Amino acid sequence: MTANELRSKYIEFFKSKNHVEISGQSLIPENDPSVLFTMAGMHPLVPYLLGEKHPAGTRLTDYQKCIRTGDIEEVGDPSHLTCFEMLGNWSLGDYFKKESIAFSYEFLTSPKWLGLDPKKISVTVFAGDENAPRDEEAAGYWKENGMPEDKIAYLPASDNWWAAGPTGPCGPDTEIFYWVGEGLPPVGSNKGTDSANWMEIWNNVFMQYNRVDEKTLLPLEKKNVDTGMGLERTNCILQGKKSVYLTEVFQP
């Protein structure tokens, strides 16, 4: 499967789940002084994640070019990029964790869509801290979809909490990883026990809060879902390549 085919399948899948396709935006953010570049698919949607009504409705999907430099020292390894493309879907006060997790797992594993091996998928969820509780709800929905307990890692906010910037919408997330080691992953292997052999391909963020300042989180009136799948990384997995730089996105 090529990157173009993956992009089309993603949009087709979410349209079948009653999402409306919207256009990606410029790499230069409009009306957002908090960032220099659009660093995530959700940046153009911040006003709607904070409660403004989107003209296309409450279920959206798109693809968005991004530039990110926060992890620039890792750029050049098999999975990190400075400029990349995110495939995204959003729920603006519509569905929440249960449906979001089910959608992701279906798209990844169903033979009709990507048909990835469930035995090679693991996830992480927020472990909880003084600001917010451990996300047992997300873990429970993963188990409902067949995810074994040993494939679920509970990690701290540094790994499983997403924010657009120092202020604004934020919340716990669940990240999805694919095994890039040899054979099948051993029992007990997940991102928490063996980070080298698991590549992150998708992040589902559960926007529950608005960060007003460093110490203040306020619950959002409407809970939202913001997800992003890395086009280049998932393309790499589907083609059995060892690096995103070996796919047709970069190669002649």
Q: What is the mean pLDDT of the chain?
A: 93
Do the domain assignments include residue 163?
yes
Do the domain assignments include residue 252?
no
Structure tokens at 239: 């083609």
**Residue whose pair of structure tokens reads 């996300």 in the numeric block:** 135
Confidence of residue 55 (pLDDT cuts 50, 70, 90): very high
> What is the model's pLDDT at position 248?
96
Do the domain assignments include residue 149?
yes
- The enclosing H or E element of 159 equals helix 157-160
Give the model confidence (pLDDT) of 138-165 as tens digits: 999 999 999 999 999 999 999 999 886 7
Lowest mean pLDDT among 8-12, 157-161, 164-168, 237-241: 164-168
Structure tokens at 24: 């990606």
- What is the mean predicted confidence (pLDDT) over 166-194? 93
Do the domain assignments include residue 194?
yes
The domain that holds 135 is classified in CATH as 3.30.930.10
Structure tokens at 95: 């569905």
Structure tokens at 193: 């026990």
Q: Are 63 and 89 in contact (CB under 8 A)?
A: no
Total number of domains constituting the chain: 1
- In terms of Cβ atoms closer than 10 Å to its own Cβ (0-12, 13-18, 19+), residue 25 is middle
**Could you list the residue range(s) of the whole structural domain that residue 59 is in?**
3-246
Give the model confidence (pLDDT) of 122-145 as tens digits: 999 999 998 889 999 999 999 999
Dist CA 198 CA 160 (whole Å)? 15
User: Pick from 195, 160, 194, 198: which is nearest to 178 by CA?
Assistant: 198
Confidence of residue 231 (pLDDT cuts 50, 70, 90): very high
Structure tokens at 68: 């990110």
Structure tokens at 15: 């349209």
